[in-house]
Amino acid sequence: MTDTVRIFDTTLRDGEQSPGIALGEEDKLAIAHQLADLGVDVIEAGFPAASEGDFAAVKRIAREVRGPVIAALARPIPGDIDRAWDAIREAGRPRLHLFLATSDLHMEHKLRMSRDEVKEAARIGVERARGYCADIEFSPEDATRSEPAFMIEVCNVAVEAGATTINIPDTVGYATPADYSALIARVVAEVKGDRDDIYISTHCHDDLGLAVANSLAAVEAGARQVEGAINGIGERAGNTALEEVIMALRTREDHYGVAVGADTRYLFTTSRLVSRLTKYPVQYNKAVVGRNAFAHESGIHQHGVLNERTTYEIMDPMAVGQGESKIVLGKHSGRAAFGDALNTLGIVLEDEDFERAFERFKSVADRKGEVTADGLATIVTDEGALDEVVRLVSMDLTGGDSTTPLATVKVESRGLTLEFAAEGDGMVDAAFVALTQAFGVDATLVDYRVSPVTMGADAMAAVDVIVRMRGRTFTGRGVSTDVVQGSARAFVAALNKAAHKALSDAVGEPT
C-alpha cells in the first residue's frame, strides 16, 4: 500500500509573516475555503495569541471551513495554548501546534533557558494542549542548527506528553538536502520508531533556495507531512512552495513512492487568489503556477509540442489548472507555430502571402518580443493580399526640435532599389512626402488615426490612413511598436492600392 504524504499549509500563518502582507479576516477566510477546495490536509490558520485580528480570523475559519484539519500555533505557555484552543475549538478537526527552540543559539540569546528548562517547558505545554484535543503537533524551532541528540531528546519528551506529529523546522534555511535527509532519518528512527500513530513532518525555509529540495529529501527519509505555503511566501526568502512539492510527488511518484491527496486542478486558481490578496506577484518563470510554466517560444520546442505535448512538457497544464499549453509568438518562433496561430484565428494564406506575413511578423517580434493574437491578426491584414508595386525596405529619420525633420526611405520597385529623402513639418509628414516621391505620385493625406493594438510600454500601434489621389481615396493600415514606422507602412499600403488602381485604369477594367 502506497504511503500518503500529508500537505500542511501555512500560507495564513507563516506565509502572512512576509513583509508587507496584512490579510484581513475576509481575505483569510477566502483563502482558507480555497485551500479546502484544493484538498490540503491541514490549514494552519494563524497564531491567535499574536493579535485580536488573528484570533478572530482563526476562530471564523475554524467555525466555517470544513474538510482539512484546522491548526493554531502557540508557544508552550498557558496563555498561548488557552487562546489557541479558544480560537479552534469549533473546528471539525482541531489541532494545536506548539513550538519551542532547541538550538543553543536560540536558548541562550532568545529564550534564556537551560536545556532542562526547555525539556520541562515542552512537557508541560504539550500536556496542557493534550487536555484540550488529541491532535498535537510539536516543533523544535531551529532544529537544523540544534545539537541533534538534544533536539531528539526534546521531541521524545513531547511524544511522551502526548504529541502526535513531530515537525523538524529548518527555520533559517540552513540545511542542505543531504544533511536534512540524514537528520530526518535519525528522527524517524529515534522518535517515531515502529509507532504508526506518530508523524514526522518537515518545515523548510528558502534562504539558500533549497526549501523544496530539502522537503523532498525529507520525504525520501521517511517524513510523511510537508509544511509550506502557496507560492512559497513567508519570512525572508519564503517557505517551501507547496505547489512544487505536490507536483513533484505526483509527477515522480515512481521515484518517491508516495501519494498526495490534493486536487492539483486547483493549484493555479489558489496561486492566483493568494497572489491577488497578498499583492505578492508570481514570477513569470515560477514552476507549476508561473505564467511561463507551460509556455513555449523556441521554434524547435513549439514544433515538438504542436506534434506531441510530452516532447517538452512533463506535466499536463490542465492537471494544475493552467488550461492548455501556451505557444508564445516571439522572435524565436518558427513557421510551424506561426501557421498554427493563423489557423486558430481562421486565417489562410497562400505560400507567397504566408512568407511575406511571416517576415513581417519576425520584424515586429524582433522589436516587441511577444506578439499577441490581436497583434498577429493586425500584422497579417496590415498589407492585404495585393502584390506591392513599391516595397518599403528601410527608413531613416533625422532632425527634431531644433532642426527640420528629414526622412530617407529605401524602396524596391520593379527589381530596382531606390532611395528618396524629404523634409516635413514632423517625422510622419516627412515620411509621407518621401514615400509619395518614391511612388512618383501627387497624393494628399485626408485622414490619419493611431490606435493601440496591445497595452504596455512596448505596445503595438495600428495606424490607419486615407489618402486622396486623382479624385479617389485609398485606405491603408500599418502596425508597429514605433508610430512613425507604422505610419510609413500605412502610407505604403494605401499608395500601393492607388498604384494598382492606376494600372488597372491604364489597361482597362475587364467587362
Instruction: Give me 124's grid cell.
Output: 508541560
Q: What mean pLDDT is predicted for residues 213-223?
A: 98
**Residue 200 vs residue 375, higher pLDDT:** 200
Least confident window among 134-138, 268-272, 366-370, 387-391: 366-370
Task: Indicate the pairing of strand 69-74 with strand 42-46.
Answer: parallel
Q: CA 330 to CA 160: how far, in whole Å?
A: 61
Rounded Cα distance, 319 and 310, in Å: 13
Report the percentage of the chain scoring pLDDT > 90: 59
- The mean pLDDT of 300-313, rounded to a whole number, is 68
CA distance 498 to 489: 14
pLDDT at residue 284, as a whole number: 86
Please name the residue that has the C-alpha cell 488602381.
501
SS3 (DSSP) at 102: coil
337-353 pLDDT tens trace: 777 767 766 666 767 67
Residue position matching grid coordinates 475549538: 89
Task: Report the pLDDT value the prediction gives residue 490, as an integer from 0 to 100.
Answer: 87
- CB 391, CB 412: distance < 8 Å: yes
Residue 40, Ramachandran bin (φ over 0: left; ψ between -120 and 50: alpha; else beta)? beta
H or E element, residue 508:
none
Classify domain 3-278 at the CATH topology level.
TIM Barrel (3.20.20)
- Spatial distance between the Cα atoms of 198 and 225, rounded to a whole number of angstroms: 11
Q: Residue 508, exposed/middle/buried by CB under 10 A (0-12, 13-18, 19+)?
A: exposed
Q: So what's the pLDDT on residue 313?
A: 77
Confidence band (pLDDT; 50, 70, 90) for 385?
A: very low
Residue 390 binned pLDDT confidence (cut-offs 50, 70, 90) = confident
Residue 506 has pLDDT above 90, yes or no: no
The class (CATH top level) of 391-507 is alpha beta
Q: Express as a percent the part of the chain with pLDDT over 70.
A: 85
Express each pLDDT in 85-96 by its tens digit: 999 999 999 999
| pLDDT computed for residue 479 by the predictor | 79
Environment class of 505 (CB within 10 Å of its CB; exposed 0-12, middle 13-18, buried 19+): exposed
Sketch the domain layout of the chain as residue ranges.
3-278, 295-381, 391-507
* The pLDDT of residue 508 is above 90: no
> Per-residue b/e over 107-133, b at no fewer than 16 CB within 10 Å?
beeebebeeeebbebbbebbbbbbebb
Find out whether 264 and 337 touch, Cβ atoms under 8 Å.
Answer: no
Helices 242-251 and 211-220: angle between axes, nearest 10 degrees: 40
pLDDT value of residue 344: 65
Task: Using the Cα atoms of residue 214, residue 215, residue 218 and residue 219 in order, give the sign of their dihedral.
Answer: negative
Query: What integer is the mean pLDDT of 241-248?
Result: 98
Q: Quick one: which of 248, 181, 174 has its CA closest to 205?
A: 174
| Torsion angle of the four alpha carbons 278, 279, 284, 286, in this order, in degrees rounded to the nearest 10 | -20
Nine cell digits for residue 99 = 513550538
Residue 365 pLDDT greater than 80, yes or no: no
Give the mean pLDDT of 453-474: 77
C-alpha closest to that of 262 among 448, 447, 456, 5: 5
β-pairing, 329-330 vs 370-371, is: antiparallel
Would you state the pLDDT for residue 2? Answer: 78
The whole-number pLDDT of residue 218 equals: 98
User: Which pLDDT tens digit goes with each residue over 222-231?
Assistant: 999 999 999 9
| Cα atoms in the Cβ-side hemisphere of radius 13 Å centred on 190 | 16
More confident residue, 382 or 345: 345
Q: What is the mean pLDDT of the chain?
A: 88
Of the segments 101-105, 318-322, 418-422, which one has the largest average pLDDT value? 101-105
Residues 110-139 have pLDDT tens digits of 999 999 999 999 999 999 999 999 999 999
Does the pLDDT at position 236 exceed 60?
yes
Pick the more confident residue, 330 or 7: 7
- Give 203's strand partners: 169, 227
Burial 416-440 (b: 16+ CB within 10 A, else e): eeeebebebeebbbbbbbbbbebbe
Tell whether the model's pLDDT for residue 509 goes beyond 60.
no
- When pLDDT is cut at 50, 70 and 90, the band that residue 303 belongs to is low
Instruction: Supply angle C-alpha 384, 389, 391, rounded to 5.
Output: 75
Cell readout for 493 is: 499600403
Q: List pLDDT tens digits, range 41-60.
A: 999 999 999 999 999 999 99
Burial of 405 (0-12, 13-18, 19+ CB in 10 A): buried
Q: What is the pLDDT of residues 8-34, one digit of tens each?
A: 999 999 999 999 999 999 999 999 999
The backbone torsions φ and ψ at residue 134, rounded to the nearest 5 degrees and listed phi first, read -90, -15
The residue count of the chain comes to: 511
Q: Using CA atoms, how far apart are residues 119 and 122, in angstroms rounded to an integer?
A: 5
Give 191's DSSP letter: I
Global pTM exceeds 0.75:
no
Provide DSSP, 116-176.
Answer: HHHHHHHHHHHHHHHTT-S-EEEEEETGGGS-HHHHHHHHHHHHHHT--EEEEEETTS---
